[in-house]
Every structure is written in C-alpha cells, then in structure tokens.
Amino acid sequence: METAQETLTAPAATETVNVSGSVALLEALIAEGTDTIFGYPGGAIMPIYDALFDYNDKLNHILVRHEQGGIHAGQGYARTSGKVGVVFATSGPGATNLVTGLADAQIDSTPLVCITGQVFAHLLGTDAFQETDVINITTPVTKWNYQVTDATEIPEVIAKAFYIARSGRPGPVLIDITKNAQIQLFDFAGYKPCDHIRSYRPKPIVRPQYIQQAAELINSAQKPFILFGQGVILGGAEQEFKAFVEKSGIPAAWTVLGAGAIPSDHPLNVGMLGMHGNYGPNVLTNECDVLIAIGMRFDDRVTGRLDKYAKQAKVVHLDIDPAEIDKNVKSTVPVWGDCKETLPLLTKAIEKKEHTEWLAKFNDYTRQEVEAVIHNELNPTTPEMTMGEVVKHLNELTNGDAVIVTDVGQHQMVACRYAKFNSTRSNVTSGGLGTMGFALPAAIGAKFGAPNRTVVAIIGDGGFQMTCQELGTIMQSGVDVKVIILNNRFLGMVRQWQELFNQRRYSFVDIQSPDFVALAAAYRIPGKLVDDRADLITALKEMLATPGSFLLEVMVTKENNVFPMVPQGCSVSEIRLK
C-alpha cells in the first residue's frame, strides 16, 4: 500500500490527494524549506507525530527535554540560519511552556512558526484534559496566532504563518491545531506559498522626500553619529550598511543585537551602546549634532533617562516598523522602510566625507576606558581569573569567527563587550526579554542553523541550571556545541546591583551548584574544570579540538563587577568607569 508521502511525490497541477491534516502540515513545512523541527510530543499532537514517522528522510526532528528548550533552540536556529525556526508542542502545559520563548522572540524580532496540538474541537471550552486557551494566552507575545479546527484550512494557514513570521519586522507565529483537524481527511490540492495578505503591509512605502531630508542633515553635520541594531542583520543589509558607513565616514556604535553587522575591528566601529556599553559611544551620544538610528528601537538600556537623551541632536530614524519611530525618541526625519532599500538611496544622496577630529574623540574615550577598565579585565594581575580574560583567549583561538551564544547576566555583557564578531549572525543572545536559561538550548539550535561554524555557548552558573536538562538533547542528537560555564558562585548581575545600590545586602544571590563536569559526564559529554590561570589556554584548546560537544567550567572571581555602567535613572553621559 502506498504511503501518503509516496502519494504526494509529484502530483499534477490539478490533481488532488486525499490526506490527513497532519500530512498536509508536513508537506507545507517541506514546501517552505523547513529542514529541522524542535519539539516534544504529547497526546494532543500525537497524530502529527504519527505522520512525522514517515518523513524522517525529509524532516530532522530534534527531541528536546522541555518545550522552553525547544523554542529557544528554534530561536537559535533562526538567528544563525536566517530561516524561520519551527517548533512543535502539545496542548496545555506543552503550549504554555512556549510562552517565555514566544515573548523572547517577539521582542527580539525572531521568525518562528510554532505548531501546538489542541483537544478535539467539540471539547473546546469544557476544561478537557490538557486544554488551555492558548490563543488568548499567546496573543500578546505573537505576531499572529490562529486556531485550526478544520483540516482544509491547514495549507492556507501555514502559508500565512510563514509569510507573516518572516516578512517585514519578523516575529513568532503560533498555529494551534485541534486533534480532529489533524486526523481529518480532505482533498489536498498541493501547497501554495503566500506572498500577500490584504490589510497587512509588511514594508512601508519609502518616501523619497525623507531620504533627501535625511541626506541634507547628514551632509551638514559636524558631529554625526550612527547607532545600528539588529534591523541591519534582519534586513540582510550588511553590505549596504557598510557602504553607507564608509562613504559617510561617520562613527558607528551597535546595540547588543546589532553586533556583527559590520566587523568588530572596522575602523569606524566605535563599540557597544547601552548600560554596560563602551565609554565613548555613551558619552558622545549627548554631544553629537545628528543621530542616525538604523534598525534599532531606542530601548531603555540604550537610552538611559529619555529626558536627558541626545536632546541637542537632530534624529534620523530608519526602521521597517513605523510603530518604533517616535515611540521613545522623537525623530527629526523618519525614514520608513526596509533598510536594504533605504540605505542605498541614502548612500547615493550623501557626500563622501571623513570626520577625523570627531572620530579621534571616540578613540580618546576608548583609551581612557582601556586604562580604567579594559586592561585590568583582560590582563588581570589578581590570582582569580576574570570573565574578560576567558573571552579574550577564546577570541584568539577562534580568530573571532565563532558563533557566540550567551545567556543573561554579567557574562553576557562581558562577552558582548569583548568577543570579536568578524561576520554577521555571530552574536546570539536574549536581548529585550533577558531570559536566563536561553543559551544552552539556543546554542543547540544555532549549530543546526550554522552546521559549518564553531558554536560556543557562554553561560553563567545560575542560567545554566535553568535549562541544563538540554544536555540530554545534545547527547541524543550528537550536536557539536562547546559550553563554557563562567562560575562566580553568585547570581552575578543581581549581586552587582545589590553591592552598588543596596549597600551589599546580598539577598538570595549566593547560589550553590552541582559538579557541572560530573553532570555533563552523566550525559556522556566530556568536560573539564579550570580553577588555575595556568591551565586556561590549554583547556580552551582541548575544548575546541575535541570532536563533538564539550563542557568547560571556569572558576572566576566572585565579586568582579562589569564596568562601564550607566546606573538606572541616569543619563548615558553619566556612565561610570568604576
């Protein structure tokens, strides 16, 4: 007897095939270019998993250990591959376990399509076993969601889901499919991708008059400054952005998610913005005369006090999402549109310039920061190791070509500050939501998304324990992820705030941890503990040379703080070096 998969190999244009909703879903995923699914089965999604049994040669399913791990893995996959991440979960707790990842993906503009199973349609609203109103629960944290109760809807709904997830400002989409729709047979006429939805305009119309006005401001500026974010990367506009920066000669600083849009060592790349960003970019934000924001949203961690943020500057804001323009910082010239389209127009309209004296001012602040902070962090003379020196040696051994996946906390800020990113899609972290537990599963997905690149997860001892069960996913899938735990025996970022602003009242931040190397060994993953600086470089080399995954735990100083720092409630020009 023919299987459904064999039946669907090459249907004629007008031919229909009688298939289940589950088979139609899998065919839609394949048509959209899906190659990897991260998921966890359960009762309400069982028909889809039953159909998946016959698709092992076309769809690689990675069995995670928790649905939150699955969605973070989907995020990591999307961030390194540039494709839509796909996640499966069952109803009830399976679906609700996706909520943190959905919120994370929503605020960080990560394209996902999440498929959740649901109870039979006739049981909806009866409080059936593992029934949850996943549509209302996830509405605030998705770009779009929809519940399918009839199998005939599946092809069109999945087409819309992928189109919405990847178009315009990307984001997560959730499709909830009742069990009856999964098993229902219908005449499937093939899959047609979606390229238009009435009333949905993913990209605003580019207005030439605003391009011209922006160019005039830039051409007349004496101290212009570029702030760039992830929008450059999401738009695939890295080359267009580089051309703009180099023709304009304007210093450019990046948000955490914008790292890698141009190489770290580019002469016009002046560093990181924000609370733990570099000294010059923060101080000089309040001295520039024209501020050019590209694909960034003026997050509070970047701006500090809004009433003291860049009040002297005229603001040019390029963004694909009109809702971001004027939301936090009032723009002088709004440039709506995809930066891959708007940047070439702006580059053509501006004059070629160099801002030598202005750039020298950034370099002077960099020298001050090196003397006050960076030198001691990267070349400590204290007996205990610092997080910064670990990142420095990792840079040297990977030549800045690795994908760095970070969790949330002090290690995240240190890694973002000191890691070198020679190419785009190299920095994977939880930006807007700040999700502890993100890094380990995201690194798994990142490796599947970029199988030919070295993927290193840098994680704190606190965040690692939130999703360490995903070591089981590494064990079973055989994925090659290098894991560095920077263990300071504290919830470090909270401890830093308690030290600086709560008179060292360390309230529940002293965290005890298991033997991480032994834990990794229980999952058949080799590992090593380093507590002596003399062994660090050798251990890093061993980690990178070992085939497959490896866990390296590095004991770092307990009470080291991340500086510079903009204290909460202060302006960016009040950044502290100590």
For residues 25-37, give the mean pLDDT: 98
Residue 5 has pLDDT above 80, yes or no: no
Q: Please state which of the four CATH numbers 3.40.50.300, 3.40.630.10, 3.20.20.120, 3.40.50.970 is assigned to the domain occupying 383-556.
A: 3.40.50.970
Other CB atoms within a 10 A radius of the CB of residue 375 amount to: 12
Average pLDDT of the residues in 453-463: 98
> Cα–Cα distance between 523 and 521 in angstroms, integer?
5
Classify residue 518 by burial, with Cβ atoms within 10 Å: 0-12, 13-18, 19+.
Answer: exposed
Question: Cα separation of 226 and 339, whole Å?
Answer: 14
pLDDT of residue 390: 98
Kindly indicate the confidence band of residue 4, based on its pLDDT and cuts at 50, 70 and 90. very low
Q: Which CATH architecture has domain 4-188?
A: 3-Layer(aba) Sandwich (3.40)
| Residue 435, CA atoms < 13 Å, CB-side half-sphere | 29
Is residue 287 among the annotated active site residues? no
User: Left if phi > 0, otherwise alpha if psi is -120 to 50, otherwise beta: which for 280?
Assistant: alpha
Class (C level, CATH) for 208-362: alpha beta
88 counts as catalytic: no
pLDDT for the residue numbered 10 = 44
**Tokens of residue 456, six digits:** 């290193």
Cβ atoms of residues 73 and 62 within 8 Å? yes
Q: What is the pTM of this model?
A: 0.95
The 10 Å Cβ neighbour count of residue 127 is 8
Q: What is the mean pLDDT of residues 169-179?
A: 98
Residue 7 has pLDDT above 60, yes or no: no
Task: Kindly give, in sequence order, each residue whose CB lies less than 8 Å from that of residue 311, ignoring residues fewer than 6 positions away.
Answer: 286
Residue range 39-77, pLDDT digits in tens? 999 999 999 999 999 999 999 999 999 999 999 999 999
Q: What is the DSSP letter of 262?
A: S
Confidence band of 3 (pLDDT split at 50, 70, 90): very low
Q: How many residues does the chain have?
A: 578
Q: By the 8 A CB rule, do 348 and 218 touch?
A: no
> Tell me, what's the pLDDT at 575?
94
Of 275, 296, 493, 565, catalytic: 493
Give the pLDDT mean for 378-387. Answer: 95
- In sign, the C-alpha dihedral spanning 184, 188, 193, 196 is negative
Supply φ then ψ for residue 350, to 5 degrees.
-90, 160
Same fold, 208-362 and 383-556: yes
Paired residues of 88 in beta bridges = 39, 115
Residue 468 pLDDT greater than 60, yes or no: yes
As a whole number of angstroms, the distance between CA 192 and CA 473 comes to 34
DSSP state, 121?
Answer: G
Strands (E), 79-138: 85-89, 112-118
**Opening angle at CA 102, ends 100 and 108, nearest 5:** 105
pLDDT at 9: 44
**Residue ranges of domains in the chain:** 4-188, 208-362, 383-556
Q: Which of the following is catalytic: 5, 27, 38, 67?
A: 67
Q: How far is CA 83 from the centre of its chain?
A: 13
546 φψ region: left (φ > 0), alpha (ψ -120 to 50), beta (else): beta
pLDDT on residue 15: 83
Given this model, what pLDDT does residue 533 score? 97
Phi, psi of 357 (to 5 degrees): -65, -40
Gap between the Cα atoms of 443 and 429, Å rounded: 10
* 453 within 8 A of 514, measured Cβ to Cβ: no
Q: Which of 83, 143, 160, 179 is catalytic?
A: 179
Check: CB of residue 88 under 8 Å from CB of residue 29.
no
* 58 is known as an active-site residue: no
Is 179 part of the annotated catalytic residue set?
Answer: yes
Strands 482-487 and 455-460: parallel
pLDDT at 371 (0 to 100):
96
Count of beta carbons in the 10 Å neighbourhood of residue 264: 19
Higher-confidence position of 15 and 91: 91
* Mean pLDDT confidence for 551-573: 94
Residue pLDDT, tens place only, 108-133: 999 999 999 999 999 999 999 999 99
State the residue for tokens 């928790």: 66
Q: Could you read off the pLDDT of 328-382 as tens digits, one per residue?
A: 999 999 999 999 999 999 999 999 999 999 999 999 999 999 999 999 999 999 9
Single out the residue of 54, 142, 57 nearest to residue 95, CA to CA: 142
Catalytic residue among 46, 58, 130, 361: 130
pLDDT at 14: 60
**pLDDT score, position 568:** 86
Residue 336 pairs with which residues in a beta bridge?
319
Beta strand spans in 84-157 (E): 85-89, 112-118, 144-148
Q: What is the pLDDT of residues 286-324, one digit of tens each?
A: 999 999 999 999 999 999 999 999 999 999 999 999 999
Work out the mean pLDDT of the chain and round it to a whole number: 96
* Confidence check: pLDDT of 139 > 90: yes
Burial class, 120, CB count within 10 angstroms (exposed 0-12 / middle 13-18 / buried 19+)? middle
* Rounded-to-integer distance, Cα 542 and Cα 537, Å: 9
Contact 575, 279 (CB under 8 A): yes
DSSP classification of residue 503: T
Residue 35: closest CA among 12, 6, 59, 18: 59
- 387 catalytic? Reply is no
Percent residues over pLDDT 90 in the chain: 96
Q: Cβ neighbours of residue 458 under 8 Å, at least 6 residues apart?
A: 391, 404, 405, 406, 407, 411, 412, 415, 439, 484, 486
Quote the CA–CA distance of 387 and 414 in Å, as a whole number: 7
Give me the half-sphere count of Cα atoms (radius 13 Å) on the Cβ side of residue 417. 29
Mean pLDDT score, 464-476: 98
Catalytic-role residue among 129, 330, 354, 501: 129
